[in-house]
Structure 1
Amino acid sequence: MRILKENTVAIIIDMQERLLPHMEKSNVLLDNLKILIKGLNALDIPILVSEQYTKGLGPTVNEITQVLEQYTPLEKMSFSCFDESMIQEKIDYMNKEWIIIAGIESHICVLQTVIDLIDSGYIPIIIEDCIASRKANDKQIAIGRMQKEGAIITTYESILFELCRHAKSDAFKTISKLIK
């Protein structure tokens, strides 16, 4: 099954000031996520941004907000984004089939969001090189569970070129420059 940009939305989960520094390979995660976001912007894919308990964990890191074309954080207290009625309503209203997932932590908020999306009939696309946990084993176990539940696992480069589809577009030129 091919993932089509017209039927896709992305969620960036909890890339917050007080969480990010504790993630394994946080600098790599941040660099990869910036490329993903810039590519999604070039493809006109809508991007939602969640923040877990913003008062305690801080806002989304500046490096991410600077590359987002629009930044309206969706605060949550539930681990799953889809457990928050405001976020669930936004996703349902967009009426998209595929949900690109990036963010932290893989084994908590990302995993629970993915399970709830699947239970509601959506197909989550997990960007493996754009998710993280504090410990590598937690991320590895979470990816296995998400895949068993029915999520698609891929990388930022793979998804961007799949959504682009051919080399004739301006988006292809932008994405090619980002990848180099």
Structure 2
Amino acid sequence: MRLQREKSLLLMVDFQAGLLPVIDGGTQAIKEASWLGGVAQLLEVPVWLTEQNPEKLGGTAPQLLEQLREPRVWQKVHFSVMEEPEFRDALAATGKTQIVLCGTEAHICVMQTGLGLLEAGYELYWLTEAAASRRQREAQLARERACANGAVAVSADMVAYEWLHRCDTETFKQTHRQFLKPRSARPVAFN
């Protein structure tokens, strides 16, 4: 099933300043999440953030917040934000059925949130390059487990182009310029 921006919400779990220094691939995960967050906002897709125990782990990483215009931030004590009644009720009230999920740590809070979303009947899209853990293998296991239970693994480009749907609009032209900005240094091989 394709993503539709009218049905979508981007949920970023616990990209917190105190946690990111120990996350394998944390810098790249923040880059991908920031970029897709910017696209989401341009397309009027809601962007929600969670923070686990921010008194100890710090708030959301500043480099992510500076890319987003007034995201909704939820503080939580449960590993799965779906265990927080206020969040669960607010999400249901949006009418959104497709949740694009990313964050840290993939094998704890992201996975438990994802499983909770699936149990509640949401379509779950696991943003692979923006879901990270202290150990890469744990992030991989979390994605595999989520997908085995009904999640769909996606990339930021897949999500953005499905939200855009077509190339002959002014919104595409505005967003496409963002696609042209380098998001990561990739070596070019010439043979």
- Common fold by TM > 0.5: yes
1:39-118 → structure 2 map (5 Å cutoff): 39-118=39-118
RMSD in angstroms over aligned alpha carbons? Answer: 1.1
One-letter code of the match for 2:131?
A: I
What's the offset of the Cα at 1:143? 0.7
One-letter code of the match for 2:56?
A: G
SS of the residue corresponding to residue 50 of structure 2 reads strand
User: TM-score if structure 1 supplies the norm length?
Assistant: 0.96
SS of the residue corresponding to residue 127 of structure 1 reads strand
The answer to whether the 8 Å contact 2:78/2:84 transfers is: yes
One-letter code of the match for 2:94?
A: M
SS of the residue corresponding to residue 10 of structure 2 reads strand
Is the radius of gyration larger for structure 1 or structure 2? 2
The answer to whether the 8 Å contact 1:39/1:171 transfers is: no
The answer to whether the 8 Å contact 2:166/2:172 transfers is: yes
The answer to whether the 8 Å contact 1:100/1:124 transfers is: yes
SS of the residue corresponding to residue 101 of structure 2 reads strand
> What residue is the counterpart of 1:17 in the other structure?
17
The answer to whether the 8 Å contact 1:39/1:174 transfers is: no
1:139-158 → structure 2 map (5 Å cutoff): 139-158=139-158
What's the offset of the Cα at 1:68? 1.3
What's the offset of the Cα at 1:30? 1.6
One-letter code of the match for 1:11?
A: L
The answer to whether the 8 Å contact 1:14/1:52 transfers is: yes
SS of the residue corresponding to residue 48 of structure 2 reads strand
The answer to whether the 8 Å contact 2:47/2:72 transfers is: no
> What residue is the counterpart of 1:28 in the other structure?
28
The answer to whether the 8 Å contact 1:107/1:141 transfers is: yes
C-alpha distance in structure 1 between counterparts of 2:162 and 2:146, whole Å: 21
The answer to whether the 8 Å contact 1:5/1:163 transfers is: yes
C-alpha distance in structure 2 between counterparts of 1:175 and 1:105, whole Å: 29
Query: Tell me, which stretches of 5 or more residues in structure 2 are unaligned?
Result: 181-191
One-letter code of the match for 1:63?
A: Q
> What residue is the counterpart of 2:188 in the other structure?
none
User: TM-score if structure 2 supplies the norm length?
Assistant: 0.91
> What residue is the counterpart of 2:169 in the other structure?
169
Identity among equivalent pairs (%): 25
The answer to whether the 8 Å contact 1:8/1:98 transfers is: yes
What's the offset of the Cα at 1:175? 2.6
The answer to whether the 8 Å contact 2:15/2:103 transfers is: yes
